[in-house]
Amino acid sequence: MTTVSFTQMKDGTRDDYLLLEKSEKAFCAMTSDRIIAELRRQGEETLEGYPITRLQHGLQSATRAEKDGADIDWIVGTLLHDIGDGLAPQNHDRFAAEVIRPFLRWDVAWVVEHHGIFQMLYYAHHYGWDPNARDTFRDHPCFQSCAEFCERWDQSSFDPAYETYPLEHFEPLVRQVFARKAYDPAIVREGFVSRLTG
Protein backbone atom coordinates (compact mmCIF):
# COMPACT_ATOMS: atom_id res chain seq x y z
CA MET A 1 0.00 0.00 0.00
CA THR A 2 1.34 3.41 -0.97
CA THR A 3 1.35 5.97 1.82
CA VAL A 4 2.23 9.62 2.15
CA SER A 5 5.77 10.66 2.95
CA PHE A 6 4.95 12.91 5.91
CA THR A 7 4.44 12.40 9.63
CA GLN A 8 3.15 15.95 10.07
CA MET A 9 0.55 17.37 7.70
CA LYS A 10 2.50 20.60 7.31
CA ASP A 11 5.33 18.62 5.66
CA GLY A 12 3.14 17.04 2.98
CA THR A 13 3.94 17.47 -0.70
CA ARG A 14 1.58 17.98 -3.61
CA ASP A 15 2.04 14.30 -4.54
CA ASP A 16 1.14 13.30 -0.98
CA TYR A 17 -2.09 15.27 -1.11
CA LEU A 18 -3.00 14.02 -4.59
CA LEU A 19 -2.57 10.47 -3.25
CA LEU A 20 -4.83 11.26 -0.32
CA GLU A 21 -7.43 12.85 -2.59
CA LYS A 22 -7.55 9.69 -4.70
CA SER A 23 -7.86 7.52 -1.59
CA GLU A 24 -10.56 9.75 -0.14
CA LYS A 25 -12.66 9.52 -3.31
CA ALA A 26 -12.57 5.73 -3.13
CA PHE A 27 -13.39 5.81 0.59
CA CYS A 28 -16.30 8.23 0.12
CA ALA A 29 -17.70 6.06 -2.67
CA MET A 30 -18.17 3.31 -0.07
CA THR A 31 -20.23 5.43 2.35
CA SER A 32 -23.45 3.61 1.55
CA ASP A 33 -21.76 0.27 2.28
CA ARG A 34 -20.74 1.49 5.74
CA ILE A 35 -24.21 2.86 6.43
CA ILE A 36 -25.87 -0.40 5.45
CA ALA A 37 -23.37 -2.30 7.61
CA GLU A 38 -24.23 -0.03 10.57
CA LEU A 39 -27.94 -0.66 10.02
CA ARG A 40 -27.29 -4.40 10.02
CA ARG A 41 -25.31 -4.03 13.25
CA GLN A 42 -28.31 -2.25 14.76
CA GLY A 43 -30.32 -5.38 14.03
CA GLU A 44 -28.12 -7.25 16.48
CA GLU A 45 -29.06 -4.99 19.41
CA THR A 46 -32.38 -4.18 20.97
CA LEU A 47 -33.52 -0.78 22.09
CA GLU A 48 -33.35 -1.59 25.79
CA GLY A 49 -36.87 -2.18 27.00
CA TYR A 50 -38.41 -2.02 23.53
CA PRO A 51 -39.88 -5.05 21.75
CA ILE A 52 -37.90 -4.43 18.53
CA THR A 53 -34.30 -3.68 17.52
CA ARG A 54 -32.95 -0.33 16.39
CA LEU A 55 -32.90 -1.68 12.83
CA GLN A 56 -36.53 -2.78 13.03
CA HIS A 57 -37.52 0.67 14.31
CA GLY A 58 -35.75 2.38 11.41
CA LEU A 59 -37.23 -0.05 8.89
CA GLN A 60 -40.71 0.33 10.34
CA SER A 61 -40.46 4.12 10.30
CA ALA A 62 -39.23 4.12 6.69
CA THR A 63 -41.91 1.63 5.66
CA ARG A 64 -44.58 3.94 7.08
CA ALA A 65 -43.03 6.88 5.22
CA GLU A 66 -42.98 4.98 1.94
CA LYS A 67 -46.54 3.72 2.37
CA ASP A 68 -47.59 7.33 3.00
CA GLY A 69 -46.14 8.34 -0.39
CA ALA A 70 -43.02 10.11 0.89
CA ASP A 71 -40.20 10.80 -1.56
CA ILE A 72 -36.72 9.26 -1.47
CA ASP A 73 -35.24 11.96 0.77
CA TRP A 74 -37.91 11.50 3.43
CA ILE A 75 -37.74 7.70 3.20
CA VAL A 76 -33.94 7.54 3.57
CA GLY A 77 -33.93 10.26 6.23
CA THR A 78 -36.55 8.33 8.16
CA LEU A 79 -34.66 5.06 7.80
CA LEU A 80 -31.49 6.69 9.16
CA HIS A 81 -32.99 9.05 11.75
CA ASP A 82 -31.61 6.96 14.65
CA ILE A 83 -28.37 5.79 12.99
CA GLY A 84 -26.47 7.59 15.76
CA ASP A 85 -28.02 5.60 18.62
CA GLY A 86 -25.05 3.26 19.02
CA LEU A 87 -22.21 5.80 18.96
CA ALA A 88 -23.91 8.94 20.23
CA PRO A 89 -26.93 8.00 22.35
CA GLN A 90 -27.08 11.39 24.09
CA ASN A 91 -27.15 13.33 20.81
CA HIS A 92 -28.11 10.65 18.30
CA ASP A 93 -30.40 13.04 16.43
CA ARG A 94 -27.61 15.51 15.65
CA PHE A 95 -25.23 12.67 14.80
CA ALA A 96 -27.74 11.22 12.31
CA ALA A 97 -28.36 14.64 10.79
CA GLU A 98 -24.66 15.12 10.10
CA VAL A 99 -24.52 11.74 8.35
CA ILE A 100 -27.33 12.67 5.95
CA ARG A 101 -26.85 16.45 5.66
CA PRO A 102 -24.51 16.41 2.62
CA PHE A 103 -26.86 14.23 0.58
CA LEU A 104 -30.47 15.02 1.50
CA ARG A 105 -32.66 18.09 1.42
CA TRP A 106 -32.12 20.73 4.07
CA ASP A 107 -35.54 20.28 5.65
CA VAL A 108 -35.11 16.51 6.04
CA ALA A 109 -31.76 17.02 7.79
CA TRP A 110 -33.30 19.67 10.06
CA VAL A 111 -36.14 17.36 11.05
CA VAL A 112 -33.76 14.48 11.79
CA GLU A 113 -31.53 16.83 13.80
CA HIS A 114 -34.43 18.02 15.97
CA HIS A 115 -36.67 14.95 16.24
CA GLY A 116 -35.29 14.11 19.69
CA ILE A 117 -36.64 17.26 21.33
CA PHE A 118 -39.92 16.94 19.40
CA GLN A 119 -40.36 13.34 20.60
CA MET A 120 -40.32 14.61 24.19
CA LEU A 121 -43.95 15.59 23.68
CA TYR A 122 -44.85 11.94 24.21
CA TYR A 123 -42.86 11.08 27.32
CA ALA A 124 -41.13 14.04 29.00
CA HIS A 125 -43.91 14.51 31.58
CA HIS A 126 -43.09 11.06 32.99
CA TYR A 127 -39.64 12.35 33.97
CA GLY A 128 -40.72 15.80 35.14
CA TRP A 129 -39.29 17.39 31.99
CA ASP A 130 -40.97 19.91 29.71
CA PRO A 131 -42.96 18.03 27.04
CA ASN A 132 -43.30 21.28 25.10
CA ALA A 133 -39.57 21.97 24.84
CA ARG A 134 -40.01 21.81 21.07
CA ASP A 135 -41.91 25.13 21.25
CA THR A 136 -38.50 26.82 21.19
CA PHE A 137 -38.68 26.13 17.44
CA ARG A 138 -42.34 27.12 16.99
CA ASP A 139 -41.43 29.85 14.45
CA HIS A 140 -39.05 27.66 12.43
CA PRO A 141 -40.32 26.79 8.93
CA CYS A 142 -39.71 23.06 9.59
CA PHE A 143 -41.62 22.95 12.89
CA GLN A 144 -44.74 21.34 11.43
CA SER A 145 -42.71 18.89 9.35
CA CYS A 146 -40.88 17.69 12.45
CA ALA A 147 -44.10 17.40 14.44
CA GLU A 148 -45.67 15.33 11.63
CA PHE A 149 -42.54 13.19 11.22
CA CYS A 150 -42.61 12.30 14.90
CA GLU A 151 -46.35 11.65 15.02
CA ARG A 152 -46.69 9.66 11.80
CA TRP A 153 -43.42 7.79 11.42
CA ASP A 154 -41.26 7.82 14.56
CA GLN A 155 -43.30 7.52 17.77
CA SER A 156 -45.64 4.97 16.16
CA SER A 157 -42.92 2.58 14.96
CA PHE A 158 -42.26 0.21 17.83
CA ASP A 159 -44.82 -2.42 16.84
CA PRO A 160 -43.41 -5.95 16.40
CA ALA A 161 -46.59 -6.97 14.52
CA TYR A 162 -46.34 -4.21 11.89
CA GLU A 163 -45.58 -5.52 8.39
CA THR A 164 -42.21 -3.92 7.71
CA TYR A 165 -40.18 -3.90 4.51
CA PRO A 166 -36.75 -5.57 4.88
CA LEU A 167 -33.45 -3.72 4.68
CA GLU A 168 -32.88 -5.12 1.18
CA HIS A 169 -35.91 -3.14 0.02
CA PHE A 170 -34.28 0.14 1.10
CA GLU A 171 -30.68 -0.59 0.09
CA PRO A 172 -31.08 0.76 -3.49
CA LEU A 173 -32.49 4.01 -2.10
CA VAL A 174 -29.58 4.37 0.35
CA ARG A 175 -27.09 3.71 -2.44
CA GLN A 176 -28.82 6.20 -4.75
CA VAL A 177 -28.81 8.96 -2.13
CA PHE A 178 -25.20 8.49 -1.03
CA ALA A 179 -24.03 8.41 -4.65
CA ARG A 180 -25.16 12.04 -5.00
CA LYS A 181 -22.65 14.86 -5.11
CA ALA A 182 -22.18 16.06 -1.54
CA TYR A 183 -23.75 19.43 -0.72
CA ASP A 184 -25.22 19.81 -4.21
CA PRO A 185 -27.34 22.98 -3.98
CA ALA A 186 -29.89 21.44 -6.35
CA ILE A 187 -30.41 18.63 -3.81
CA VAL A 188 -29.93 20.44 -0.49
CA ARG A 189 -32.27 23.32 -1.44
CA GLU A 190 -31.47 25.42 1.61
CA GLY A 191 -34.63 27.06 2.97
CA PHE A 192 -37.04 24.91 0.95
CA VAL A 193 -39.65 23.04 2.99
CA SER A 194 -41.14 20.01 1.26
CA ARG A 195 -44.28 18.05 2.06
CA LEU A 196 -43.81 14.81 3.94
CA THR A 197 -46.08 12.99 1.52
CA GLY A 198 -46.81 13.32 -2.19
Digit-by-digit pLDDT tens for the chain (198 residues) are 789 888 899 988 998 888 888 888 888 888 999 999 999 999 887 667 889 999 999 999 999 999 999 999 999 999 999 998 888 888 999 999 999 999 999 999 999 999 999 999 999 999 999 999 999 999 999 999 999 999 999 999 999 999 999 999 999 999 999 999 999 999 999 999 999 987
Q: Which amino acid, residue 119? A: Q
Q: Is there a domain that residue 3 lies in?
A: no
Q: Domains in the chain: how many in total?
A: 1
Measured CA to CA in angstroms, residue 127 lies from 99, 124, 139 at distances of: 30, 5, 26
Q: Contact at 8 Å (CB) between 176 and 72?
A: yes
| 170 sits in which H/E element | helix 167-178
Range of the domain at 99: 12-188
Q: Is there a domain that residue 156 lies in?
A: yes
Q: Is there a domain that residue 196 lies in?
A: no
Q: Is there a domain that residue 193 lies in?
A: no
Measured CA to CA in angstroms, residue 86 lies from 5, 81, 108, 135, 150 at distances of: 36, 12, 21, 28, 20
Q: Is there a domain that residue 124 lies in?
A: yes
Q: Is there a domain that residue 49 lies in?
A: yes
pTM exceeds 0.75? yes
| CATH classification of the domain holding 75 | 1.10.3210.10
Q: Is there a domain that residue 52 lies in?
A: yes
Q: Is there a domain that residue 1 lies in?
A: no
Cα 67 off chain centre by: 19
Q: Contact at 8 Å (CB) between 133 and 111?
A: no
